[in-house]
Structure 1
């Protein structure tokens, strides 16, 4: 039924009932009108308006649900759809909106995949240049400073040794940046070893205590899935260090029956409402890349939990 005929039909029902009541009810109108008759007419008008409003609200409820979904839909949370019943104008509108959401979600997932893959390729290139050029240059500087310090006398030797230590510290920082940009251990030894190295570096750099719980014999994802898990863990640890004011974190990797679940929990201050900045939205985009579910919960005074549930691949540890 078209929306016009639906509204027209509802109003016709209300007016028809009101007319039938006037015909059958023993109510008359005097001239001039009496107070009791005026009260009856006003009450009848009120009942008619209330009935008409209730019927219209019922008839237009699908449009209200559609409006609510349009105001809250988020392409980073796919699967939001409205049920469709019948074949009328409103049902066609809802079907068209659901189809549009499917197309937008598919296009968003494809574009996010292209962006993230390009980002990883650029990180790999920068990490390689830092390792091959900057790292080697600083290593050569260390050797030159060492030889110069051995041949120098007195105060100059101490200054050269000091410059050597500063250079060595800078070289260590460059190597740490290279590992953050592209974890070679992930490619060489797999996800568990990469997360172990990540948490060790994080604990040493921030001073926070990190507890690991990794299931033995995990069925893991393909290379793309492993990289998504690693990046989500990396971003979760970074957010905890910057914002949570935590003392202890727990990183868990477990087989939950048909899926691999990564959970990062901190004992920080938590927040009432999770504010989704660039970091969290980036994690959601990575989750979409492999069809994973990302859930972030935070309780004031009880910390924050980030849980990523990713479908399993056929690859075995």
Structure 2
């Protein structure tokens, strides 16, 4: 026999069943409710003029039946009222999602069920805080890796391709006529590859966001998307946005980038509206397309968008557009600096 179980008696701890535990308190509550109902029924029968013979007479059966029905009905109503919070707690457990903040059950703070609900809400608070912290670390590491890859693409592969282009130009100048056409084709291929490397590096590390700001970065993103996909983009970008942090700007840019990528891959759209405006104490990003739409399936891309939104305390809503297509709305609360 293995000694691991005997050496670690706390490996499978027993659930606490002390006098102060929720299970014990619930037991005594039900016991007292039932006791009160039956005591009241017994008292009513004892003080009433109704009597029960032995054996029971037929005319006494309706009295007993009515008394039993009243006690059972009263007991059911009291139990239903006392246990109603358990139904709300079960519903919350079924729908809870740590990528959507603030889903809680209101409780009065009295009784054992109130303590149970308060404990469950506190557990959700801890889990959401831990998820937010781990997501922040993961996204920071992801952005650092993106910047490293973009830097290597630009500084190493980009420079190597530039050297190849220069060498091809010198070779083309000295090549005989029968090789010029082939060398020109190779030169164009290398030039196209260099352009693609630069575009990938720019997508990985949006230098325009750091250098020129969010509005310029969104304009550049929309222009690149339209040039590559051929989809027309209407831009409604308010240059008078309230000031937000650099992390918030990066989240807005990345979510817009992911949305446009999804549209290019799946939507079969011909028109996209990109809006970024200030509305009632918030900065709101809206991206609407006229594509195929359909049911929203939350894959890795949408989950990543929700994680980024959670990182800055924003709300992300994805649903069908009024006519057809898909609409994405990111709402970032902004605190008035005068407050």
Q: Deviations over 1:50-100 (max 9, x none)?
A: 442332121111122222212221111111222221432222222211111
Q: Show the counterpart of 1:83.
A: 106
Question: Out of 298, 312, 317, which is 2:320 matched to?
Answer: 298
For residues 96-111 of structure 1, the aligned pairs below 5 Å read 96-111=119-134
Shift of the alpha carbon at 1:26?
Answer: 4.1
> TM-score, normalization: structure 1?
0.90
Q: Show the counterpart of 2:273.
A: 250
Return 283-292 or 160-169, whichever deviates more. Answer: 283-292
For residues 110-125 of structure 1, the aligned pairs below 5 Å read 110-125=133-148
Residues 160 and 14 of structure 1: CA distance in aligned 2, closer, same or farther (over 3 Å)? same
Return 226-235 or 94-103, whichever deviates more. Answer: 94-103
Q: Distance in 1 between matches of 2:214 and 2:290?
A: 25
Work out whether residues 211 and 251 of structure 1, in 8 Å CA contact, stay in contact via their aligned partners in 2. Answer: yes
Work out whether residues 281 and 336 of structure 2, in 8 Å CA contact, stay in contact via their aligned partners in 1. Answer: no
Q: Deviations over 1:211-245 (max 9, x none)?
A: 10011322231211110100010011112222222
Question: Out of 8, 12, 35, which is 1:12 matched to?
Answer: 35
Question: Out of 279, 285, 308, which is 2:330 matched to?
Answer: 308
Structure 1: which 5+ residue stretches go unaligned?
Answer: none
2:200 matches 1:177: yes
Question: Out of 89, 92, 104, which is 1:69 matched to?
Answer: 92
Q: Secondary structure at the match of 1:130?
A: helix
> TM-score, normalization: structure 2?
0.84
Shift of the alpha carbon at 1:127?
Answer: 0.2
Work out whether residues 219 and 313 of structure 1, in 8 Å CA contact, stay in contact via their aligned partners in 2. Answer: no
Residues 25 and 79 of structure 1: CA distance in aligned 2, closer, same or farther (over 3 Å)? farther
2:188 matches 1:165: yes
Question: Over the residues paired in the alignment, what is the CA RMSD in angstroms?
Answer: 2.4
Shift of the alpha carbon at 1:163?
Answer: 0.8
Q: Distance in 2 between matches of 1:235 and 1:276?
A: 13
Work out whether residues 271 and 299 of structure 1, in 8 Å CA contact, stay in contact via their aligned partners in 2. Answer: no
Work out whether residues 215 and 239 of structure 2, in 8 Å CA contact, stay in contact via their aligned partners in 1. Answer: no
Q: Show the counterpart of 2:220.
A: 197
Q: Show the counterpart of 1:216.
A: 239
Q: Deviations over 1:126-175 (max 9, x none)?
A: 00000000001111111111222222223321111111111111111111
Work out whether residues 286 and 330 of structure 2, in 8 Å CA contact, stay in contact via their aligned partners in 1. Answer: yes
Q: Distance in 2 between matches of 1:73 and 1:170?
A: 47
Q: Secondary structure at the match of 1:187?
A: helix
Q: Secondary structure at the match of 1:60?
A: helix
Q: Secondary structure at the match of 1:4?
A: helix
Q: Secondary structure at the match of 2:240?
A: coil
Structure 2: which 5+ residue stretches go unaligned?
Answer: 1-21
Shift of the alpha carbon at 1:38?
Answer: 5.4
